[in-house]
Amino acid sequence: MRARELGLPLIGGTGPDNAITDVPGVAVGYTTLIEGDSVRTGVTAVLPRPRAEVQLPCAAGWHALNGNGEMTGTAWLSETGLLRLPVLITNTHAVGPVHRGVIDWTVRAHPAVAAEWMLPVVAETYDGYLNDINGPWVRPEHAVAAIEAAAPGAVAEGSVGGGTGMICYGFKGGSGTASRLVPYGETVYTVGVFVQANFGARHELTVCGVPVGTRLPADEQRTNLPPGAGSVIAVVATDAPLLPGQCTALARRVPLGLARTGTTGSIFSGDIFLAFSTANKGSFGTGMPTGEPTYEQLHAISWNRIDPFHTAVVQAVEEAVLNALVAGRTMTGRAGHRVPGIPIERLVELVTAR
């Protein structure tokens, strides 16, 4: 069951799978690592384009609400407004091997790209309460496997991939996704969101406008980090033709969707967001310059018509977080630490009783 299927009053029309993969060409893949009593982690891959075309740049932008986290490659994103290659998400101490894994995959799959230079985008959130985060569990081959597993269509949620050991509002969190359809003249575009939700204090949790956090059953609370600590990574995708600055504007709207779920943004949470457009394929130069100078040609949504896309981001982010929570199940991990799944029946009762 997902948040919408529970009858929660979410607004906005979705794509067929209500997922980031509703954007044509976008794919998601996971490597999930659950071993023994203390390994609860993994890797998520989001492919902006199909594997054979993932080297073709997309217009892109990023935004950090709070910088207590990591997303590699953002300096080059700021410089050029372009994203190429898969985007990977993992745990805080596994950024290095996952970064290496993207390079290893690209060397095999796209040797011409590897012959130049690569600045992969790898992001993280902290799973050290449930997972032995200092152990060498995530290796480059796990990143390669996540990329190879990436597929369009329905996306698994909750304790999968990089979201395996994550906690959200004191409940089991993890991976979540949602989408919205945006009419634009005679065309309907899709905005899709993927989140790795690992943020928020229990008392903050708000669902569809109802403050439920203080009214849900008390349970074991983690004590190794302050309330609200963790992090959240969001990836926003659209097939609408956008300029890099417009992608950045979409990324800046992610915090508004998060705020609908109650968070006020802890200083101990790394909240970093990426947005890209798959339109204008082939319009951006790739590789080292050869031959005669050329000009780029592309089209874009008018700035004065972009508000419906902002709305779509806000709505989809809210639903993606709720989907991650609803998909979460009670998990026990490192040192016997236990994180409960959100009590779904009580949640629905609180939200629908008003």
Q: Which amino acids are annotated catalytic?
A: 231, 269, 271
SS3 for 144?
A: helix
Half-sphere exposure of 10 (CA within 13 A, CB side): 31
Residue 245: partners with Cβ closer than 8 Å, 6 or more residues away: 61, 81
Quote the CA–CA distance of 272 and 252 in Å, as a whole number: 10
10 Å CB burial of residue 338 (0-12, 13-18, 19+) is: middle
Neighbours of 12 (CB within 10 A): 18
Residue 277 DSSP label: E
Residue 98 DSSP label: H
Query: What is the secondary structure of 280-330 as a DSSP string?
Result: STT-S--SS--SS----------GGG-HHHHHHHHHHHHHHHHHHHHH---
- Smallest CA-to-CA distance from 194 within 323, 288, 286, 78 is with 323
- End-to-end CA distance of the chain, in Å? 22
